[in-house]
Amino acid sequence: MMKLVFATTNAHKLHEVRVMLPDVDIVDLNSIGFTEEVEETGTSFEENAYIKAKAVFDFCGLPTMAEDSGLCCEGIGGDPGIYTARYGGLPVDHDRNMDKLLSALEGRSRKAFFRTVACFIINEEGEETSTFFDGEIHGEISQEKRGANGFGYDPIFIPEQHTTTFAEMLDEVKASMSHRGRAMLLFGGYIQRLKL
């Protein structure tokens, strides 16, 4: 079974990705003893995904994947985008984040999309390569929070062609259409071909 490190501090992402990639042995940061806090100083999802993957790859040398994700809302010029996790301030508080977004969108377009960019770094015959995988899901922001599944902004995101929020869906239903699910489908196909 292929082994790779998922460079994330988010236990929900870790759980989702383990379910999405059942044929991969996904090692977490605790298992490799990585305790540094990596600052996301990039100006794009791609840059931040690379910064996270590179820090961990440099530490352990094992094939490493990191992903940066966020919610982009049309009514507020694409915000919070790469600042999605810390939108309501630090420490990260999902309820405060959602309350701030619901207020900001009052009287504005509620169209939004989630995006994930995953970056995979591996050393192949002495050469370090990084490869990127994207996933998006479009939809809208609900008027109020609904549902208790998932994490983050799931209670206020309704994917297009649906009437329920991500937080009202079963995990596997969310995974079948989510930004992360789509990026991991591409990533899963790629690593299968590497035959590690």
Residues in contact with ligand ITT by CB under 6 A are 8-10, 13, 40, 52, 68-70, 84-85, 114, 150-154, 166, 178, 180
Q: Determine the Cα–Cα distance for residues 190 and 139; give it in Å rounded to an integer.
A: 27
Q: Is 68 an annotated catalytic residue?
A: yes
In whole angstroms, the minimum distance from the beta carbon of 102 to ligand ITT comes to: 14
The b-or-e profile of 181-195 (16+ CB within 10 A means b, else e) is bbbbbebbeebeeee
Q: Which is nearer to ligand ITT, 133 or 153 (CB)?
A: 153
In whole angstroms, the minimum distance from the beta carbon of 127 to ligand ITT comes to: 26
Q: Which is nearer to ligand ITT, 58 or 124 (CB)?
A: 58
Q: Determine the Cα–Cα distance for residues 92 and 94; give it in Å rounded to an integer.
A: 6
Q: Which is nearer to ligand ITT, 9 or 44 (CB)?
A: 9
Residue type, 55: A
Q: Which two structure tokens, joined as six digits, stand for 19?
A: 């379910």
DSSP string covering 110-136, please? -EEEEEEEEEEEEEETTEEEEEEEEEE
Spatial neighbors of 31 by CB under 8 A, at least 6 apart, are: none
In whole angstroms, the minimum distance from the beta carbon of 66 to ligand ITT comes to: 6
Residue of minimal Cβ distance to ligand ITT: 152
Q: Which is nearer to ligand ITT, 120 or 166 (CB)?
A: 166
* Catalytic residue from among 23, 25, 58, 68: 68
Q: Determine the Cα–Cα distance for residues 40 and 51; give it in Å rounded to an integer.
A: 7
In whole angstroms, the minimum distance from the beta carbon of 129 to ligand ITT comes to: 21
> Which residues are annotated as catalytic?
68
